[in-house]
Structure 1
Amino acid sequence: MMTDELQELRRRLVVGRKNDGRSVYDTQAKAELVALCLQPGASVSRLARECGVNANQVSRWLREHGHVRRPRVPVAPVAQVSSPPSAFMAVPVMQTTATPADGSAAMHLQARLPNGVAFDLRGVDARHAGHLIEALGRLRCSGSTKA
């Protein structure tokens, strides 16, 4: 369901068309959409769809605003156990930078759940990572997501 804020953003986003049919976007509206995409739990593809923009275009804007993808860090697979599957699993944590004095730290987390769902969280504030993982553990997954 689209909120009034997103409807207003969608209305302001496209300010014209080029001769070849491509859209011309408002700089301020693009920055607002990028900011919305950076909110915890935000879906770039959902926000792009609701604003009438291709998700790849929004991903490009994220990169242009300095939110670049960092190289993947390989994570060792967790050994399979015979006990019932849990929503949580052991994840090795590697600290690559010093934590700032204010206690905040961005982290990157990659995981593959027993049901085949994989996720990659980049630049997540370490203070909020536990809430994100807990929320992901409560999500239901269809059988079509199994590897």
Structure 2
Amino acid sequence: MTDDLEDLKRRLVVGHKSDGRSVYDEAAKSQLVALCLQPGASVSRLARECGVNANQVGRWLREHGHGGRARKAVASVVPASAAFVAVPVPPASPIAVRSCDDIVAVMDVQARLPNGVAIDLRGVQLRHVGEVIEALGRLRCSASTKD
């Protein structure tokens, strides 16, 4: 655990109620919420390292207007029904020659699924690109599997 996270853990709980529930410092709660909103941050890991239940941190995220999950902002950028995200592809050599009489068009296909999986296929024949895209479109994938 980093020193900053250790310091946050020390400052987070400021006391206990008579029924045993913890009383939390508002500034430390806000700092933990900010950490949870960082790209690649795991809410459950940060909660565990700070000694707080992940559901409690989720509640703080909702209270701070973040819908309970740090990655909801990412999910709202890419609609759940969208199977693909636009990925810029640098131009490549579009034609490969097998023989003098047989010219076959090939291309590179790159796709990034909403759950963060990147697919990079090199040298796909143009006649197969449609089949590849259809197969990728049939994959069951949601942004919620990125954790």
TM-score w.r.t. length of structure 2: 0.52
Change (3 A) 1:67 1:77: closer
| Distance 1:20-1:38 versus aligned 2 partners, 3 A rule | same
CA distance in structure 2 between the partners assigned to 1:117 and 1:90 by the alignment? 11
Report the TM-score when normalising by structure 1: 0.52
Q: Are residues 21 and 77 of structure 1, via their aligned partners in 2, closer, same or farther at CA, if it must alter by over 3 Å?
A: same
**Structure 2 regions of 5+ residues with no counterpart?**
85-109, 118-135
Structure 1: runs of 5+ lacking an equivalent: 79-87, 92-109, 122-135, 137-147
The answer to whether the 8 A contact 2:80-2:143 is kept is: no
Residue 75 of structure 1: aligned partner: 81
Query: In 2, are the aligned partners of 1:14 and 1:23 still within 8 Å (CA)?
Result: yes
Percentage identity across aligned positions?
60
DSSP 3-state at the match of 1:24: strand
Secondary structure at the aligned position of 1:8 is classed as helix
* Count of aligned residue pairs for this structure pair: 94
The residue aligned with 1:49 is 48
Pair 1:27-2:51 in alignment: no
Distance 1:9 1:117, change over 3 A: farther
Instruction: Give the letter for the 1:35 counterpart.
Output: A
**Cα RMSD (Å):** 3.2
* Larger strand proportion of the pair: 2
Please list every run of at least 4 consecutive aligned residues from structure 1 whose deviation after the TM superposition is greater than 4 angstroms.
69-73, 112-118
* Larger of the two Rg values belongs to structure: 2
Q: Relative to total residues, which structure has the larger helix share, 1 or 2?
A: 2
Question: Where in structure 2 are the equivalents of 1:86-105 lying within 5 Å?
Answer: 89=111
Partners of 2:112 and 2:81 in 1: how far apart? 11
CA distance in 1, matches of 2:140, 2:112: 16
Shift of 1:120: 3.2
